[in-house]
Amino acid sequence: MRNMIRNAWRSRWVTVATVLAVLLAACSSAADPGVSSGGSPASSSSGSSPAGEKLPQDLSSTLYQGSDVLGEGNLTISSLQGKPLVLNFWAGLCPPCRAEMPDLQEFYEENKDRVNLLGIDVGQFTGLGDQASAKALLEELDVTYPAGFTNDGGVMRDYKILGMPTTVFIDSKGETFRHWGGVLNKDLLTKVTNEMLELESAPLNY
């Protein structure tokens, strides 16, 4: 009888551990070498999308805020072509996304004349919140950069979102410059953006 009780409790703990592991994986990307699963910056960038790769999908988005900056409330990524874009995928109930947002806000305030920044809420595809929780997080953290949500069901696959947050740096031609899984701080955001802009301004060698 005692062994039966012990085995029952052991089975419950295994189930709890499995559920916790799944939830942790939903908000991290251990499979990606450039990913940080906690609140600290990722140590290196991911090579999952090579530089110069065309975006796989013209992602559509409905903005929560920022239509005055980007010109319309319903937009596509291609409509922003002509100016480099930092595309950040996040969710309202994702702790690492919350940790990253203040740095994104600072980066936006310092670089909005050089690049566009757009946050895309994918909570409905990750189980990490809905539109209400996403908007509540934006308000709580006083986020002012453009942010919205997408209903495009293929976004997780097409943009290689293996964990949260994920950030894609897109040049003015609409090509992927860098794909980064994990939390970015302001310094890293600025560093990668500078590299992208320097490459764009470099003279062509014939």
Q: What CATH number is associated with residue 21?
A: 3.40.30.10
- Its domain, for residue 87, covers 2-201
pLDDT at 196 over 80: yes
Supply the pLDDT for residue 27. Answer: 54
Q: Is residue 160 part of a domain?
A: yes
CB–CB of 186/40 below 8 Å?
no
Q: How many CB atoms lie within 10 A of CB 108?
A: 23
Residue 204 DSSP class: P
Specify if 206 maps to a domain. Answer: no
How many percent of the chain have pLDDT more than 70?
Answer: 72
d(CA 78, CA 164): 23
Asked if the structure places residue 188 within a domain, the reply is yes
**Residue 97's pLDDT is what?**
99
pTM of the model: 0.78
Is 105 a domain residue? Answer: yes
User: Looking at residue 2, what is its pLDDT?
Assistant: 52
Q: Is residue 51 part of a domain?
A: yes
CB atoms inside a 10 Å sphere around CB 85: 23
State the total domains in the chain.
1
pLDDT in tens, 62-91: 999 999 999 888 999 999 999 999 999 999
Q: Is pLDDT of 48 > 90?
A: no
Q: What is the pLDDT of residues 86-116, one digit of tens each?
A: 999 999 999 999 999 999 999 999 999 999 9
In angstroms, the CA 82 to CA 174 distance is 8
| Assigned domain for 45 exists | yes
How many whole angstroms separate alpha carbon 65 and alpha carbon 199?
30
CB 87 within 8 A of CB 116: no
Domain assignment present for residue 18? The answer is yes
On whether residue 163 sits in a domain, the answer given is: yes
Please report which confidence band the pLDDT of residue 3 belongs to, taking 50, 70 and 90 as the band edges: low
